[in-house]
Structure 1
Amino acid sequence: MPQLSMPRRTLSTLSRACQAVLVSTSFAAVSLATVGLVATSLAATAGVAHAEEAALNDRYQWLEDVTGDKPLDWVRSENARTEAELAATPGFKSLESDVRTILDSDAKIPGVQKIGDHYYNFWKDKQHERGLWRRTSLAEYRKDKPQWETVLDLDALNEAEGENWVWHGAQCLRPDYQRCLIALSRGGADADVTREFDMTRKAFVEDGFFRPEAKGGLDWIDRDTVYVYTDFGDGSMTESGYPRIVKRWKRGTEMSEAEVVYEGRADDMYIAAIHDDTPGFERDFVSRTLAFYNDELYVRGDDGALSKIDVPNSVNKNVHKQWLMLELREPYSAGGHEYPAGSLIAANFDDFMAGKREFTALFTPSESTSLASYTWTRDHLVLNVLDDVKSRLSVLTPGEGEWKRSEFTGAPDFGTISVGAVDPDDSDAVWMTVADYLTPTTLYMADIGEQPEALKSMPAFFDASGKVIEQHFATSEDGTRVPYFLVRPEGLAYDGKAPTLLYGYGGFEISLTPGYSAAVGKGWLEKGGVYAVANIRGGGEYGPRWHQAALKANRHKAYEDFAAVAKDLVARRITSPAHLGAQGGSNGGLLTGNMLTQYPELFGAIVVQVPLLDMQRYHKLLAGASWMAEYGDPDKPEEWAFIQTFSPYHLFDPGREYPPTIFMTSTRDDRVHPGHARKMAAQMRDADKDVRYYENIEGGHGGAANNAQAAHMSALAYTFLWEQLAE
């Protein structure tokens, strides 16, 4: 599910980051495949009838008690059973060691963020399992082996405090950047604490700003004032488990006494505020996120009055210096013009707030293109556009009327490109990373209009020789053309016997683009396996229309797309159902749960990670209520009528044959409740199905809190898949 983050001084943080509470694509490193025949309408009808009956009596609900003795005894028993089967295989320890070596490698690219005069990096390796927050100069960073100055050692902090802190980021106060607000999570949960840190002394500030453990955050206003949105006690959190109230908190006072800035409703999703400290354009904003794709943004005046930015709630809103930037999820009419969904348009912010509605269209989508992202430098706007899921960069320069357009100098023709400003206030330089499934990531620094400078490259962590990348298109049940990427051996026999791993996500407008995963390479490709990634509806590969095509009652279209890709792999004789596996995590776990229950004949094995599966109770468990804009409200009979058709927990039929399956989750996941995976595995176990279960005791929604845990879980997944699909 989307990650919650609050980068500095970008207003899309409030409309997007507060929504980013469900999608996690970190599971692509262990992804899989799916193939088979479409379920008949008779079977679907029977499945719905079974779902209605099963929903009335949930005899596994006791497993929702996350830390109860009885459920954890069950977890430990299942873990031991899975370990006995998979960890005892000849290749397990070797694979686990290889993945751990990759994760611990010092050869990874140390991504940096410019804060003041320094370039900061958070780093984990074998000696630093929880990580170092460190810094260097640009001149030093350009070297092969930079000298780093440690600012905070999390492993040492954990030892000193007897804790298991996981890094959740830092926000530092300009202009001198001597004070930072550091967020730390116990075991990787979404809930965290925020503590004030003195950069001069490299120590936490005694009696400084401190936010107790909860979902929420702090945001600097000035050295003695912050915005705080968190758990203030009974009634202060939304039904989704996120902040309902934001306050303005002065140093030296109790947090409970802070001035209320805005108070949302219990059925809102997330309330937050941010101070934009861009020199010359200082402003304060309050965000009210009602649901995914539904938020309001307000400017807060010096007198505390709020002025709404009067655009549709579905619009992604961003304010940068004098510009109001709108990414449209629906058609929008303004100034006598109609702008289609998926467009990016800009207006002068002050003029807009004064009532003028004059926009410049900066990007308009076509049938094959969508806006992946954009980033501001000091004087330019860089657009990253997906054209049939392949990155294309261009540069826009603001002016009167139409903005000047040019190509981005030195951008590669193939591969996934990510671009971010080095310092949007003072520089036209950008960071640019480039990668694909077989090519390790390279980091460039580029000044707009000049050739990029290659700064760092990852080593090749697996042998990619003799392998090729292709893009194909499958035809879904309703005739929709669905793209997918394929990585295969150059000399593939096309006899239907290749072990094939198909990965998908299909939700929350998240796009799956080619990227280098050393774990996929080492655990699958290097062994001769075929890897495929399906760009199904529900994702963002073709913009809002691609996402909206699979919402709520149309959710089945995402699953039909995935099944269509699976069948296309079989039709091309790349693989066959016995050699095809499916895997996904989070929303992708719901996807693979539906592949398991609706298309079992398509697969030889399925891996389901940190999944949603019980769609009747998902909105009552942890952050689930925040996702009803995606799936619907099961408490409404008219919506449960379609939700039950994609609720794997209720579609399970004890009399039906299912492929070998493994469920993987984390006790500490406080976003998607581990009860989903527990309950599904338990009912399959009781029905004597071929099922395995593994639950990491910590790790949050990503599944693992350190490299050792991540390597162990990856090795379990790949060992299971190879054992099932390569025979």
Structure 2
Amino acid sequence: MTTTPEQTTSTAPEDQFAWLEEVEGEEQLTWVRARNTEAEERLRTGRFESVSAEILEVLDSSEKIPAVVQRGEYLYNFWTDAAAERGIWRRTTWESYRTEQPEWEVLIDVDALAAAEDVNWVWHGAAVLKPAHNRALVSLSRGGADADITREFDLDTKTWVEGGFTREESKGGMSWADESGSAVFIYTDFGEGSMTTSGYPRTVRRWERGTALEDAPVVFEGKPTDMLVGAGRDQSAGFERDLVFRMRAFYDSETYLRAPDGTLTQLDLPRSAEPDLHREWLAVELREDWEVGGTTYPGGSMIAIALDAFLAGDRDFTVLFTPTDSTSLAGTTWTRHHLVLNVLSDVVNQLEVLTPPAPPAERGASGSVAGTREWQRRALDLGSLDVPAIATIAVGAIDSEESDALWLTTTGFVEPTTLSRLELSEGGEVVEVEALKALPAFFDASDMSVEQHFATSADGTQVPYFQVTGAGVDRTGPAPTLLYGYGGFEISLTPSYSAGVGRAWLARGGVYVLANIRGGGEYGPRWHQAALKEKRHKAYEDFAAVARDLVTRGVTTPERLGTQGGSNGGLLMGNMYAQYPDLFGAVVCQVPLLDMKRYNHLLAGASWMAEYGDPDEAEQWEFIQKFSPYHLIDAGLEAGGEYPPILFTTSTRDDRVHPGHARKMAAKLLEAGQDVTSYENIEGGHGGAATNAQRAFMNALAFEFLWQRLG
């Protein structure tokens, strides 16, 4: 992939490392290869090889839980292991899945396809046509980039459909537009002017089978400054409808209902709200306070109303959830008769079942729209399950059109993940919990402990964090400790079983810490909005407070405290490095944003201005430069400051966060004589790796770096 001239010309002439923004130039890749060689010379030790092998053993294990989705009579799964490096798409039946060794029917072998076409394909998913379930739209990416292709696949013959729907390589997508499979919605690169400044499609078309794509009528066209547009079809029997969405920016979108004649009706909701349609109901999750119909509904709440009543002008919503200082809505899932809420209370899950009343048409002549307030609610009782006190509980509908069955997943830091099938009655009670699959214990956790603590941030805010103390750790003295964080885009970090962390860090005597700083979603939209734009420093103050609390409590010392994060978490790492170097003994900075003056001109960067601000606006650059590590570091370097050892990792195929961020920061620090290690994987996209072997290698690099510096 190559960048455009706009992406390679720095707005700051004094930036002597701007040349590294050219992604695949020979001079740039020569620089990358030299850094990779240096990194391997430092880090490919005997311990590295052991850790890499241990992680790969887990990733390739036949004992992993095969995650499945039900489509018609089959359960579909995508699987990777040592024999299927790039993976196989396969399916089985419920009867077989319930056995210890299910029998799988292979549909697509990505390794064989990659070899036949001489393309390093990476699986990006498949959309199965309903209700026939005989066709699928399959997406594949070169090397793991966000840009991908789509091809039509016949599930009966297990072959690609000759002359079927195809989409050439681009960011975007394609989805079924009717139940017969005769049309699709396609949003992709249609040529000059068809993409937004963020690099995503700004037009969506409805493409009929047998016609030329260029003749497909435009369904919707957004503005160049939008983030992206798209369309899809709700194929629920009896409630089929087309939906068009326009994303202006993160958490700023519009949703339209599209009539058969192409007429669009916008849902009259706040642009920051997230609508959820299920059969006759419209549920709305609010991110900001909304005053409507004489009532103010607080941000973070969920409200509901009958869709027909809403379209007719009614605004008398039923409140389904209201946040408190300690609770937030982590997620929702519809079944045939219920809406299940997943609530976080101080980052601990609680499940609640809400049952709407029968719609007016089913209640008889005496029913009324106002009757939609008669929702019933009950706590979802998991008393029969041995769920750890500190764990993550997740539910998802198996078939929201036909049943009240749920996938139930539980996972803890030291408790292996389990998958069950939970059946609800029409009244919302738990009828049955069927254990389906469970991970084995990939590491010995008998001598490990898990705790939750709270640190006090600079403004007095209490910031929760989880601490996992590994095997053999002397609890009376400082231990090598790894502090992980993210703090952005309303993403919550919750407990999960990571065999890689367990084997590479905890089992070797380390302490692992997960920080729930502002910018995330652990306490809902307010927690996220508390660290937006000019308030970004709050996230970094929170993370620094957790680091200090670990030292104050005697868990570790700055010299033995390492920190790690990727993407927005990589920006967090850059700020810890630049603003709080005395708190850490080592920093691992993965696929990061670092040059916040240039970020909105590099790849998808413009789409994140709602999170960080627009550096091209002088007033906004005033606050953005205060969290731009690439610029913050200048004063410290000029003063001869010493910074902790740092490892940068990125991917040449990352077409979301430009690899130039990591390259330029590494080059600047290397020139200043700082302790820098840098490794760029050629494949991997924003995830940093495209295969299990690459994932094991990249993870082992980070752990070896940390053990060398902290152990």
TM-score computed with the length of structure 2 as normaliser: 0.93
Corresponding residue for residue 26 of structure 2: 69
1:634 match: secondary structure:
coil
Q: In the alignment, is residue 444 of structure 1 matched against residue 425 of structure 2?
A: no
Residues 164-223 of structure 1: per-residue CA shift (max 9 Å, x gap): 111111111111111110000011000000000011110111111000000001111131
- Structure 2 counterparts to residues 227-626 of structure 1, below 5 A: 227-399=185-357, 400=371, 401-410=373-382, 412=387, 414=389, 415-448=391-424, 449-489=430-470, 492-626=473-607
Residues 349-384 of structure 1: per-residue CA shift (max 9 Å, x gap): 111011111111111111100000010011111110
- Structure 2 counterparts to residues 80-159 of structure 1, below 5 A: 80-87=37-44, 89-159=45-115
| Distance in 2, Cα, partners of 1:713 & 1:633 | 33
| Distance in 1, Cα, partners of 2:210 & 2:412 | 51
Corresponding residue for residue 25 of structure 1: none
| Distance in 1, Cα, partners of 2:55 & 2:561 | 23
| Distance in 1, Cα, partners of 2:83 & 2:472 | 41
Corresponding residue for residue 363 of structure 2: none
| Distance in 1, Cα, partners of 2:16 & 2:572 | 24
| Distance in 1, Cα, partners of 2:212 & 2:25 | 34
- Checking the alignment, whether the CA contact within 8 Å between 2:471 and 2:508 is kept in structure 1 is no
Deviation at 1:232, TM superposition (A): 0.1
| Distance in 2, Cα, partners of 1:694 & 1:496 | 33
| Distance in 1, Cα, partners of 2:138 & 2:11 | 46
Corresponding residue for residue 694 of structure 1: 679
- Checking the alignment, whether the CA contact within 8 Å between 1:377 and 1:427 is kept in structure 2 is yes
1:568 match: secondary structure:
helix
| Distance in 1, Cα, partners of 2:562 & 2:330 | 29
Unaligned runs of 5+ in 1: 1-52
Deviation at 1:55, TM superposition (A): 4.9
Q: In the alignment, is residue 677 of structure 1 matched against residue 634 of structure 2?
A: no
Deviation at 1:302, TM superposition (A): 1.5
Residues 198-252 of structure 1: per-residue CA shift (max 9 Å, x gap): 1111011111100000000111113111111000000000000000000111111
- Identity %, equivalent residues: 60
| Distance in 1, Cα, partners of 2:141 & 2:679 | 22
2:85 match: secondary structure:
strand
- Structure 2 counterparts to residues 639-658 of structure 1, below 5 A: 639-652=620-633, 653-654=636-637, 655-658=640-643
Deviation at 1:491, TM superposition (A): 6.9
1:284 match: secondary structure:
strand
Residues 93-143 of structure 1: per-residue CA shift (max 9 Å, x gap): 111111111110010000100011000000000000111111111111011
- Checking the alignment, whether the CA contact within 8 Å between 1:409 and 1:451 is kept in structure 2 is no
Corresponding residue for residue 700 of structure 2: 715
- Checking the alignment, whether the CA contact within 8 Å between 1:497 and 1:575 is kept in structure 2 is yes
1:396 match: secondary structure:
strand
Alignment-mate amino acid for residue 453 of structure 2: H
Q: Does 150-159 or 703-712 show the bigger shift?
A: 150-159
Quick one: higher RCO (CA 8 Å, sep 6+), 1 or 2? Answer: 1
Deviation at 1:452, TM superposition (A): 1.5
Corresponding residue for residue 48 of structure 1: none
Corresponding residue for residue 50 of structure 1: none
Deviation at 1:493, TM superposition (A): 3.5
- Checking the alignment, whether the CA contact within 8 Å between 1:181 and 1:196 is kept in structure 2 is yes
Deviation at 1:317, TM superposition (A): 1.2
Residues 230-285 of structure 1: per-residue CA shift (max 9 Å, x gap): 00000000000000000111111221111011111100001101111110001111
Structure 1 residues 167 and 261: CA distance shift in structure 2, 3 A: same
Alignment-mate amino acid for residue 457 of structure 2: S
Residues 18-67 of structure 1: per-residue CA shift (max 9 Å, x gap): xxxxxxxxxxxxxxxxxxxxxxxxxxxxxxxxxxx995511101000000
RMSD across aligned positions (CA) = 1.2
Q: Does 149-158 or 470-479 show the bigger shift?
A: 149-158
- Checking the alignment, whether the CA contact within 8 Å between 1:55 and 1:650 is kept in structure 2 is no
| Distance in 1, Cα, partners of 2:673 & 2:144 | 34
| Distance in 1, Cα, partners of 2:432 & 2:545 | 42
| Distance in 1, Cα, partners of 2:548 & 2:124 | 41
Residues 77-103 of structure 1: per-residue CA shift (max 9 Å, x gap): 00000000100x221111111111111
2:87 match: secondary structure:
strand
- Checking the alignment, whether the CA contact within 8 Å between 1:54 and 1:650 is kept in structure 2 is no
Corresponding residue for residue 17 of structure 2: 60
| Distance in 2, Cα, partners of 1:70 & 1:353 | 59
Unaligned runs of 5+ in 2: 1-9, 358-370, 425-429
Alignment-mate amino acid for residue 725 of structure 1: L
Alignment-mate amino acid for residue 285 of structure 2: E
| Distance in 2, Cα, partners of 1:374 & 1:413 | 22
Alignment-mate amino acid for residue 623 of structure 1: A
| Distance in 2, Cα, partners of 1:508 & 1:485 | 20
Deviation at 1:319, TM superposition (A): 1.0
Residues 293-313 of structure 1: per-residue CA shift (max 9 Å, x gap): 100011111211111100110
- Checking the alignment, whether the CA contact within 8 Å between 2:473 and 2:509 is kept in structure 1 is no
Corresponding residue for residue 224 of structure 1: 182
TM-score computed with the length of structure 1 as normaliser: 0.91
| Distance in 2, Cα, partners of 1:451 & 1:209 | 42
Deviation at 1:650, TM superposition (A): 0.6
- Checking the alignment, whether the CA contact within 8 Å between 1:496 and 1:570 is kept in structure 2 is no
- Checking the alignment, whether the CA contact within 8 Å between 2:445 and 2:471 is kept in structure 1 is no
Structure 1 residues 490 and 462: CA distance shift in structure 2, 3 A: closer
- Checking the alignment, whether the CA contact within 8 Å between 1:92 and 1:715 is kept in structure 2 is yes
